[in-house]
Amino acid sequence: MSVPTALVTTAWAREHLDDPKVRFLEVDVDTDAYDTGHLPGATGINWRRQLTDAVMRDLVGRDELQSLLRTAGIDDDSTVVLYGDNHNWFAAWAYWQLRYQGIDNVRLLDGGRAKVEADGLPLTTDAAAHDAGSITLPTETREELRAYRQEVIDGIGGSGRDLVDVRSPEEFRGELSAPAHLPQEAAQRKGHIPGAVNVPWSTAVAEDGTFKPIEQLRELYGARGVSGEDEVVAYCRIGERSSHTWFVLHELLGYANVRNYDGSWTEYGSLVGVPIETGEASSN
């Protein structure tokens, strides 16, 4: 089901900076960016330390996430607005994680940190100080929003599913194992999951970092056979870029059955005995 209010603009953000019912969270790839300047009252979230389990590879636990949100001053009736660098890479991942945990009153700030700076919103280096919130997370997660490795493997070669690889074409073809600007390490093998189509996450973004108009987005994915009629599973390298695409497909286009495979290529590409393709996508 589409969430028509999933996005807010910088103009909306400017008007709600002092709204006690709105809490801004900044989640950056560069975990030091928050300290250089952020929206007044925004709480910085370190995705490495605060949104992942400290021992095993998984999302942070429910109790830890609830405590984190309460520390940010979030109540059950608060509107949570997420934004960050790299056109909201990890802000989108945090958004998906909150929705997975059953939270609905969450928004993404269109254009992220770059748009905030370009539009001249006030920035501060003062740490956020809020009274502790009282939000209580639902006890059940939304498993329909998440895909797991065995489900992905079991669906290879079948019908009724669109598998979308949102990485760069070079990663998809098996020439790189990570984005070109990052260290080339992670999975044991390069390539893509058989049957996947390559629709890089960045093709959904306009020059100013905001999302392209809805009709352009619908045409973009429709041209690759992704129309929302079938289940869609998106993946990337570690799950943050695919969260960005999940947001486009599920929250903006309203495709009902979209799941994020957050294990993504660093998991799949290191599995023993699973099929891998390299080069361009094979014809289906």
Residue located via tokens 């290191």? 270
d(CA 150, CA 268): 10
Domains of the chain by start residue, with CATH: 7-141 (3.40.250.10), 144-268 (3.40.250.10)
Dihedral angle over CA of 65, 71, 75, 80, nearest 10: -70
Pull the structure tokens for residue 256: 């009902």
Residue from 6, 197, 236, 248 carrying the catalytic annotation: 236
Q: Return the SS3 of 101.
A: coil
Q: What one-letter code names the amino acid at 127?
A: A
Instruction: Give residue 1's pLDDT band: very low, low, confident or very high (50, 70, 90).
Output: very low
| pLDDT tens-digit series, residues 110-166 | 999 999 999 999 999 998 999 999 999 999 999 999 999 999 999 999 999 999 999
Phi, psi (degrees; rounded to nearest 5) at 25 = -125, 125
Q: What one-letter code names the amino acid at 15?
A: E
| Per-residue buried b or exposed e for 177-213, using 16+ beta carbons within 10 Å of the residue's own CB | bbbeeeeeebbeebbbbebbbbbbbebbbeeebbbbe
Closest CA to 77 of 110, 95, 42, 104: 104
Is residue 125 part of the annotated active site? The answer reads no
**pLDDT confidence of residue 219:** 98
| pLDDT tens-digit series, residues 17-57 | 999 999 999 999 999 999 999 999 999 999 999 999 989 99
**pLDDT confidence of residue 5:** 80
- Cα 137 to Cα 46, 69, 77, 178: the distances in Å are 20, 10, 12, 34
**pLDDT confidence of residue 282:** 67
Closest CA to 147 of 129, 163, 131: 163
Task: Kindly give, in sequence order, each residue whose CB lies less than 8 Å from that of residue 175, ignoring residues fewer than 6 positions away.
Answer: 190
| pLDDT tens-digit series, residues 175-224 | 998 887 776 667 899 999 999 999 999 999 999 999 999 999 999 999 99
Pull the structure tokens for residue 168: 């760069």
Instruction: Give residue 80's pLDDT band: very low, low, confident or very high (50, 70, 90).
Output: very high
Strand intervals (E) in the chain: 7-8, 22-27, 43-45, 79-83, 106-109, 161-165, 197-198, 231-235, 258-260
Give the number of C-alpha atoms closer than 13 A to the C-alpha of residue 121, restricted to the C-beta side.
24
